Amino acid sequence: MLRHVLYSVRHRTSYRYGRPVDLGVHLLHLSPRTLPSQRVLRADLVPTPAPDRVEQGTDTFGNAVTWMFLEAPHAAFEVRLEAVVEVRPRAAPPPAATLGWRDVAAIARERPEWHATAEFLFDSPMVAVAPEITAYAALSFGDGRSVIAGLLDLNSRIRRDFAFRPGSTTLSSTPRTVFAQRSGVCQDFAHLMIAGLRGIGLPARYVSGYVRTYPAPGQPRRRGADQSHAWVGAWMGPEHGWIDLDPTNDLIVADEHVTLGWGRDYGDVSPVRGVILGGGAHSVEAAVDLEPLAADASSIPAVGH
């Protein structure tokens, strides 16, 4: 019934510098993560020009990290991810099977063996708990409600109550700003939902990756028209663990998302970040292409980022 979907992922990030850069150091969270629900068949990072030094590592959350050092003058830098990933559909547990949300919060708070989960309970640099967002989230979590029911309700409400409006926020917009203006993009909605869940004491993390998009009827697929995407991982307790929810599209993450990695917020897993020496003004361009290679499901309605 639930079939694996094979995706080709292409993500190109290009920088052009006003003047040659003498030294460029780049930190990449750009390798799809191997998961029970995701098999990485191939993942190549292709930088141009070739860096003088490339290092690999793993961060505290288990994400693969790549460092690239360019130590000779260069006027541009580009890095491409070329990957083939098999996604296995996940399903949400039935509400009756999950714990009440208060029990989940209590376990995360009080049981030391779950401390690594509790790491996602606290404020992080880009997500601070705020009373108005906590109050908003709390409306989905009535007394005795199962955690999954509350999570799905909040996921839907964010999709309903907030407008997807590119350009209405910046990288540094806080969840409070997004909450006040009721609009934003995927990253803002993820941060907002995380703030709400942490506010009521539920562990929540930021997931970075890609989502499948569908062309308008009668239009061909446009290459490179996709973008990086972000959604929310929420904890349902020891038995059911984490569930991924996409508040931008009111979706339970199943077989249309490819996961790169996760952290407390965007800052922990930004796909490409760098420091350059010299360079003057610079411009950046990103192009993402997520293309299903196997089963096609064209009947699913279009989703945004």
Interface residue with other proteins, options 166, 215, 224, 241 (CB under 8 A): 166
Of 93 and 134, nearer to other proteins (C-beta) is 134
The whole-angstrom separation of Cα 31 and Cα 199 is 31
b/e map of 101-127 (b: 16 or more CB within 10 Å)? bbebbebbeeeeebeebbbbbeebebb
Nearer to other proteins, 92 or 193 (CB): 193
Write down the least CB distance from residue 241 to other proteins, Å: 17
89 is a contact residue toward other proteins (CB under 8 A): no
- Looking from the CA of 197 toward its CB, the CA atoms found within 13 Å total 35
Residue from 103, 119, 153, 250 binding other proteins (CB under 8 A):
119
Q: Which of residues 3 and 115 has its CB atom nearest to other proteins in the complex?
A: 115
Q: d(Cα 33, Cα 61) in Å, to the nearest integer?
A: 11
User: Of 139, 164, 205, 198, whose CA–CA distance to 303 is shortest?
Assistant: 164
Minimum CB distance to other proteins, residue 277 (Å) = 5
DSSP conformational letter for 72:
S
Closer Cβ to other proteins, 188 or 244, answer by number:
188
Name the segment binding other proteins (CB under 8 A); options: 33-41, 86-94, 130-138, 181-189. Answer: 181-189
Q: Which residues lie below 8 Å from residue 241, measured CB to CB, with a gap of 6+?
A: 235
When the beta carbons of 92 and 256 are compared against other proteins, the nearer one is 256
The total of other beta-carbon atoms located within 10 Å of residue 220's CB is: 6
The distance of Cα 3 from the centroid of its chain, to the nearest Å, equals 23
Question: Quick check: 252 binds other proteins (CB under 8 A)?
Answer: no
Measured in degrees and rounded to the nearest 5, phi and psi for residue 109 equal: -80, -40
Contact between 199 and other proteins per CB under 8 A: no
Contacts of 110 (CB under 8 A, 6+ apart): none
- Is 38 a binding residue for other proteins by CB under 8 A? The answer is no
Residue of 3, 19, 42, 53 interacting with other proteins (CB under 8 A): 53
Nearer to other proteins, 22 or 82 (CB): 22
Among 40, 64, 272, 290, binds other proteins (CB under 8 A): 272
214 scored as a contact of other proteins (CB under 8 A): no
Distance CA 154, CA 146 (A): 13
Cα separations in angstroms, 74 against 21, 77, 273 = 5, 7, 17
Among 253, 266, 289, 290, binds other proteins (CB under 8 A): 266
**3-class SS at 185?**
coil
Rounded distance between C-alpha atoms, residue 142 and residue 139, angstroms? 7
Does 123 bind other proteins (CB under 8 A)? Our answer is: yes
Stretch that binds other proteins, among 35-43, 59-67, 133-141, 289-297 (CB under 8 A): 59-67
DSSP-based three-state secondary structure for 120: helix
227 sits near other proteins (criterion: CB under 8 A): yes
Q: Which stretch binds other proteins (CB under 8 A): 31-39, 41-49, 66-74, 133-141?
A: 66-74
**175 interacts with other proteins by CB under 8 A:** no
Give contact residues for other proteins (rule: CB under 8 A): 13, 15, 22-23, 25, 27, 52-53, 55, 57-60, 67, 69, 71, 112-113, 115-116, 118-119, 121-123, 125-126, 166, 171, 185-187, 227-230, 266-267, 270-279, 282, 284, 286, 305
